[in-house]
Structure 1
């Protein structure tokens, strides 16, 4: 996609992850992070049709409690370095991202982000060729629609 046709994002946005049953999840948009990361409070592994899967629970940060339980095939495990320089092996899943009219499948690693302000970090591989960031702005897309 040409630069002129890329969607401009603020440093924080709301995204939908429809395959996981998650709508309007607050994310920090971070071009310094290679991969995207989704907060999970609990995760477990199981086998479905001979393939490894991950089940997980997370709180979306919504006022109603927002507890979500989902499952997805495990696509990879890789060592990830967090913002504090700590390295750890993390599981990766593939899921659909919907943001500002752009729909694409992205890889997401699962980790405990309980101490972070945002339940998801949107990394640069998920944004590649579709988005640009204006770090001086936020909440440009997926705003709550007010009733008429």
Structure 2
């Protein structure tokens, strides 16, 4: 199917906002080879609130020497295959995500990304029917990008 005209373009990296989690903007790598988006987070506990499943987790921003505790709706625990071909069981949350001016609810797996350059990866499920990817550019939806947000440039 051809791309719909008028979809905004994202570069190979963008600043992502997760307004429901209380996190600062997060630099993320756009990865059309990954199905599910992924966030660097350490699960602390599962709990229920008003009959709905939640997970509490910590997100560490090493460059800012900051740890943020978050809570989100717990959707599932899934086997997700990482880039090295290894399948890991990961918690999957659902929360609002904003890239540029477009906000939507996204499923995000929580993973140990401490060895990765970017604390977040945006997979094709979050991109589909919302954005086209221009892999030759960066920060197309983030012209005001700050260099000290979440990681070193």
Give the TM-score of the pair, scaled to structure 1.
0.89
- In structure 2, distance between residues paired with 1:127 and 1:35: 10
Residue of structure 1 equivalent to 2:33: 32
- In structure 2, distance between residues paired with 1:65 and 1:141: 26
- In structure 2, distance between residues paired with 1:108 and 1:42: 13
Residue of structure 2 equivalent to 1:78: 78
2:101 aligned with 1:107: no
Cα pair 2:79 2:90 within 8 Å, conserved: yes
Structure 1 unmatched runs, 5+? none
- In structure 1, distance between residues paired with 2:86 and 2:64: 33
2:126 aligned with 1:126: yes
Residue of structure 1 equivalent to 2:136: 136
Cα pair 1:74 1:91 within 8 Å, conserved: yes
Cα pair 1:15 1:99 within 8 Å, conserved: yes
Q: CA deviation at 1:52?
A: 2.6
Q: CA deviation at 1:66?
A: 3.5
What secondary structure does 1:75 align onto? strand
Structure 2 unmatched runs, 5+? 147-153
- CA deviation vs aligned residue, 1:101-143 (integer Å, no higher than 9, x gap): 1010000011111000001000000011010111111122232
Aligned length: 143
- CA deviation vs aligned residue, 1:76-118 (integer Å, no higher than 9, x gap): 1211000000012111111111111101000001111100000
- In structure 2, distance between residues paired with 1:71 and 1:38: 13
Over aligned residue pairs, what C-alpha RMSD do you find?
Answer: 1.6
Q: CA deviation at 1:3?
A: 2.0
Residue of structure 1 equivalent to 2:45: 44
Give the TM-score of the pair, scaled to structure 2.
0.86
What secondary structure does 2:118 align onto? coil
Cα pair 1:34 1:124 within 8 Å, conserved: yes
Residue of structure 2 equivalent to 1:15: 16
2:19 aligned with 1:3: no
What secondary structure does 1:21 align onto? coil
